Chain A
Amino acid sequence: MPANSRGPLQFATQTALNASRLSSDSTIGTNTTVTSQQDGNDNVTFYDSPTSPPYQAIKYQLPGALNALSSSPDGEYVVVAGREVLKVLHVTDQEATEYINLRTGSNLSLNYSSNDVKWGNNGTRNKIATAATNGAIIIWDLNKSGRKTDRVISEHSRAVNRVCFQPNNGYILLSASQDGNIKAWDLRDPKAAAKYSYEGKSESVRDVQFNPMHTHEFAAGFETGTIQKWDMRNPKLIYERKVSAHNGPCLTVDWHPDGRTLASGGRDRTIKVWDMNSDSRKPQYTIRTMASVSRIQWRPGYDNEIASCALLSDNGLHVWDVRRPNIAKYTFDEHSTTPTGFQWLSPDVVISCAKDRYFMRHEIVGAYKPIELLRKNGIGWNIHGDLVFSIDKSTGHQFVDEASTPGLTNQASRKSSRNRTTTGEELSLQYIPPQTCGIAHLPLFDYGTFSVFAQNYVINGENLKLACETNAKIAWSMQRFRAAQTWKIVQLLFADVEEERDSEQANGIDENYHNMSVTKALTANGNEVISESDSESSVSPVNEDEKDNEEASSSDSSESLESPIISQNQEIINDLFHYYTEQSDVQMCVTLYLIVQQYVHINADQLEDWFTSYIDLLRRFKLWTSATDIINACPIDNVRALNLNATTINITCNNCFKLVLGTAQGSWACDKCHKLLNPCSVCHQTVRGLYVWCQGCNHGGHLGHMRDWFSMKSQCPTGCGHTCTLDMSTQGSTE
């Protein structure tokens, strides 16, 4: 039963939290914005230029959409490539200017529209390789006069997605193609044939990257979502290691400068970091981004930071810290479409290009920090008056506390000592920003008394004297002396009216009252909603007749005899109601009204207010039974309609307490735990037909089995310890 009650309770508190958050925003929000502004100021001073205007990215517009860029080894020149563009730009920290346009002349073949571009190094420092959309690889020589085309290699049958120069030997070029092959070219060799061809035995190759430390190694990302590590020296031409990294295509890979860690990004919106030397098949870190990851690159000089851009629908260029994967550390969002390529020129400078035709040079100073837009403190309360709050405890402006989460470098050094293998990894995975949480109890509302009153107050005013007395006793026992006194006064005020009626119909009312209290007792036990209707139907027809008589007579008498008394008491009663409204004690208002409703007149609008807010409160505290009682007792049509339209009765599984989603005819088994619902306690089969159960412990079964069982035993067949039979004579009523 406690597990059963958890779900709705959580829901209730959740809504209460949400509601309170709205209200708390206005108060707390100002505080947090102030602190975040302070943070921002401090950061500016950190860069030692508090007065200078914020850094503006250098922009340069090109005639067409851009697909890729690459910088020369010295970082002064950048080549940008697209379907209609192939230009070399001269980029300084002030401006970008066009240097050479490689896409000149009249005969512009497909060779001039590029998927990817790379600038050579060392021996090929004046050469540029582009991957054309038609599968050709074109080598351009900048020193050549006239047409710069040095060589056209067309050996791939499908488009080439990525080209890559070996880091220390610019003559070796790798190309990754849609046709599933990775080919290595030696540019010193005048023959056109590929030196090696690596067949990934997988689908299209999306990316290929040389290992910066061990330059004979390279990694490739495939459209099947796998990444593979190859060694060029391996004569067998088979991959050394294969990781199925992504769900859906892997679009990009990048080696960490340490030479053993590889990051990969894919269409499944994740960036994953792998240790390529270990045998673990799980990534070291996973960063979940907002959109498919199209390119990634580690930030030089910062071992734990990696930049990424999306394939579509996200125009930002994000820099992440692997130790804090849930939020980007920096974001550049100057582009108006998704960036298609970017490269770090130095630890603080990044160049990027996009389909919006702009080439841009950003500095890290110009990036905004998403973390500063976040509110780090929070507050909320639940209906029981508990206030919960969390406070950001991080002291400095560090994004990640280096001491507590060592990250990649320290890990690597630790592992190189080979003392710890896997345990070290798991220790230091994520940075958790320090926070303090607290719960304070604010005794604004006495939940206990409220629910006791809600469950025990008599709300049937037919026997006013008795009802008032009972209610007074209850209030007294809960030490609500004022309320108890109120009940006493009400009793006195209307006692004489009552007595006249009492003398007329003493026996009938007595019986009625008895019946009523039984109902109350039942509901107090916390039984199902049904009990209300049960009690009504259990009232014998004779009683109902009497009720009718009563009502008829009381209405008669109220017109003839009691009108002077009403006018007498009306003022006091009005004061009473006024007092409790001021106190915002809707419980008292409603209960009082229900008791004395025959004798007083209250504005209907006010009544509806009371009732709806009281019912709302009751429901919030999960006092469904009491709420239904109130709704049924309410004289206002609008409120009564609550029970008439769209009443859904949800059934929970009696095993796992999950909601059973059955058809309109009900269902036989629980979807969650795959157990039968309400099987017979004796034979454990589904009961088709008559199902008999004990109102006390809710266990039951086939009519026949139950009868057999209880003819011998008096305790529940499930062994729950409940004595189901009161005595032999009540066996009939159990059924």
Chain B
Amino acid sequence: MSNVLVNFLPPVHLKPNAGYSAQYDDYHYQATDNVSENGEDNTAGHKPRILLMGLQRSGKSSIQRVVFNKMPPNDTLYLESTTKIQKEDVTRSFIDFQVWDFPGQINFFETAYDSQEIFGEVGALIFVIDAQDDYREAVNRLHYTVTSAYRVNPNITFEVLIHKVDGLSDDYKIDTQRDIQQRTADALADAQMEHIHLSYYLTSIYDHSIYEAFSKIIQKLIRELPTLENLLNVLCSNSGIDKAYLFDTLTKIYIATDSSPVDMQSYEICSDMIDVIIDIECIYGAQNSASNGTTPSISGTDEDRSALASSPTVSAGSGGANGFGGADSLQEQLMSEQSQSTEREAEASSLIKLTNGDVLYLREVNRLLVLICILRQESFEKHGLIDYNFQCFKEAITDVFEFSNQRNKSQLADDNNIVDNNSE
């Protein structure tokens, strides 16, 4: 993976998203570029694309901003209505994806738009339905969109976000979902396309449900998922870890977890932990890395380290997640390796002990990924073992991504050859 990342290091490649170099400044949002600049990036052709569609005012842009641009949910109130396709490359995240935010009021299946171009390479089509509104129109539109897109590209996975469910009661939520599911299923059955499979998620930008939905959507597009999951399983069983998440640092989406069921409490506390670490990194982290415009990695120079050492332990507020009790003591250990070369190893780690005896342990896997584990205090006594296992895990992950990257490249090369041959 690090090889791939080096590609992004020169400022030239960062041009479209130059503003993101300071991405962890306080909520820095950037108007997304409407220009396609894929040409520069040779991997862009293979980026899975996520389409966000739905009626107007259903919350598409809000979702995009909250998940990918770290906008606070309350600020989405002031978003203007989208008028043209907003394309965004999520390059600095692990997930090499494009998110296309489609304005709700335009029909993209009219002849004026090249539906082949739009839907040809789509990995996932996310259709957003406003659950607080009358959704009959949205369901009709969903049916139309799904059937049309399916004709163009049958490989798309269709995901339906039943959105804005905050404020609805639990019973009402499930009723709404059931109703929408039934209506769509009936409509698809009438069109004799019942083999199209839709996944439904109840989401809201005001809690973690939107992140969980996106996690699941994106996991479907990650080919390495089974391998990652097995690696995590091995890590968990050999280190006595209760639950481990592999997070994309920027979006707080988990791209893999071990196979035990995800419970919301542990997910929320882990994703909150990322926020804590990022905040601390903003205050004490190295400036030079940010000026390189490269990394969200949490690392520091010698001065930073000494500054940290002299600073007392930072104690987090008691407002921890529900079942977990407040964070009792937060021991920040920002270990850093002196950077001689430009290719530094990301080595941030952090440890939070909770009052209920659980330990949250964060390790940075590479610049884009962090591993967060939840384990019992007793298991954490074998700290050295866990660290050793983590190193193995990290090497394995690096191997996996290098392998798949090479495979991608060779495929791309093959494709190009074919094209060349054809043209000749």
Chain A residues within CB distance 8 Å of chain B: 83-84, 110, 113, 115, 133-135, 157-159, 161, 178-179, 201-204, 206, 223-224, 244, 246-249, 251, 267-268, 281, 292, 294, 311-313
Contacts and interface: CB of A to CB of B under 8 A. Distances in A.
Given A133-B236, A202-B197, 15 more contacts: A133-B234, A134-B234, A158-B226, A158-B230, A159-B259, A201-B197, A202-B199, A204-B259, A247-B173, A249-B262, A251-B261, A267-B263, A292-B263, A312-B266, A313-B323
28 contacts: A84-B237, A110-B234, A113-B237, A133-B234, A134-B234, A135-B226, A135-B230, A158-B226, A159-B230, A178-B259, A203-B199, A204-B259, A206-B261, A224-B200, A244-B177, A244-B181, A244-B200, A247-B173, A247-B174, A247-B177, A247-B202, A248-B264, A249-B262, A251-B261, A267-B263, A268-B170, A312-B323, A313-B323
The 8 closest A-B pairs by CB, nearest first: A159-B259, A201-B197, A83-B237, A133-B233, A157-B226, A313-B323, A158-B226, A113-B237
A716 B229 CA distance: 74
A129 B225 CA distance: 26
B171 to A, nearest CB: 9
Nearest to B266: A312
Main secondary structure of the interface of B (DSSP, over half): helix
A147 B262 CA distance: 35
Nearest to B220: A203
Contact of A133 (B170, B177, B181, B237): B237
Contacts of A312: 263, 265-266, 323
Most chain A C-beta atoms within 10 Å of own C-beta, residue among B170, B236, B258, B263: B263
Nearest to B196: A201
B136 interface: no
The residue among A157, A161, A247, A249 with the most chain B CB atoms within 10 A of its own CB is A247
Interface in B123-179: 170, 173-174, 177-178
B267 to A, nearest CB: 11
Interface in B197-248: 197, 199-200, 202, 216, 225-226, 229-230, 233-234, 236-237
Nearest to A312: B263
B331 interface: no
Contacts of B170: 247, 268
B261 A249 contact: yes
B264 A244 contact: no
Contact of B259 (A115, A244, A246, A294): A115
Nearest to B227: A157
A159 B233 contact: yes
A134 B202 CA distance: 30
Find the residue from A157, A203, A292, A312 having the highest chain B CB count within 10 A: A312
Contacts of A113: 237
Interface string B258-281: 110111111000000000000000
A178 B264 contact: no
Contact of B261 (A84, A244, A311): A311
B182 interface: yes
Contacts of B230: 133-135, 158-159
A190 to B, nearest CB: 27
A64 B230 CA distance: 21
A281 B259 contact: no
B237 A179 contact: no
Contact of B226 (A83, A179, A201): A179
B235 to A, nearest CB: 11
A160 to B, nearest CB: 8
A622 B237 CA distance: 64
Contacts of B202: 247
Contacts of A133: 230, 233-234, 236-237, 258-259
A157 B229 CA distance: 10
A466 B315 CA distance: 68
Nearest to B219: A203
B23 to A, nearest CB: 31
A83 B199 CA distance: 32
Contacts of B226: 135, 157-158, 179
A247 B170 CA distance: 8
Nearest to B174: A247
B229 A203 contact: no
Contacts of A158: 225-226, 229-230, 259
Most buried by B among A83, A158, A206: A158
A269 to B, nearest CB: 9
A103 to B, nearest CB: 13
Contacts of A311: 261, 263
A115 B259 CA distance: 9
Nearest to A199: B197
Contacts of B234: 110, 133-134
A204 B181 CA distance: 19
Contacts of A84: 237
Contacts of B262: 249
A115 B199 CA distance: 26
A161 B263 contact: no
Contacts of A135: 226, 230
A267 B262 CA distance: 9
B189 to A, nearest CB: 12
A659 B136 CA distance: 33
A622 B174 CA distance: 42
A203 B178 CA distance: 17
A136 to B, nearest CB: 10
A134 B200 contact: no
B222 to A, nearest CB: 12
The residue in B181, B225, B237 that gathers the most chain A C-beta atoms within 10 A of its C-beta is B237
A281 B200 contact: no
B155 to A, nearest CB: 14
Contacts of A115: 259
Nearest to A115: B259
Contacts of B173: 247
A251 B261 CA distance: 8
Given A133-B233, A134-B233, A159-B233, A246 B261 contact: no
B240 to A, nearest CB: 8
A204 B225 CA distance: 13
A294 B261 contact: yes
A62 to B, nearest CB: 15
Given A113-B237, A159-B230, A179-B226, A267 B261 contact: yes
A244 B264 CA distance: 19
A157 B237 CA distance: 18
Looking at B178, B230, B264, the one whose CB has the most chain A CB atoms below 10 A away is B230
Contacts of B265: 312-313
A108 to B, nearest CB: 11
Contact of B182 (A159, A248, A281, A292): A281
Contact of B229 (A159, A224, A268, A294): A159
A281 B175 CA distance: 9
Nearest to A200: B197
A35 B357 CA distance: 40
Nearest to A246: B174
Given A158-B259, A161-B259, A110 B199 contact: no
A230 to B, nearest CB: 16
Nearest to A310: B263
A133 B233 CA distance: 6
A197 to B, nearest CB: 16
A84 B264 CA distance: 27
B160 to A, nearest CB: 11
Contacts of A201: 197
Interface in B50-71: none
A429 to B, nearest CB: 15
A110 B263 CA distance: 25
Contacts of B264: 248, 267
Nearest to B379: A65
Nearest to B170: A247
A251 B264 CA distance: 14
A178 B202 CA distance: 21
A393 B413 CA distance: 81
B261 A110 contact: no
A474 to B, nearest CB: 51
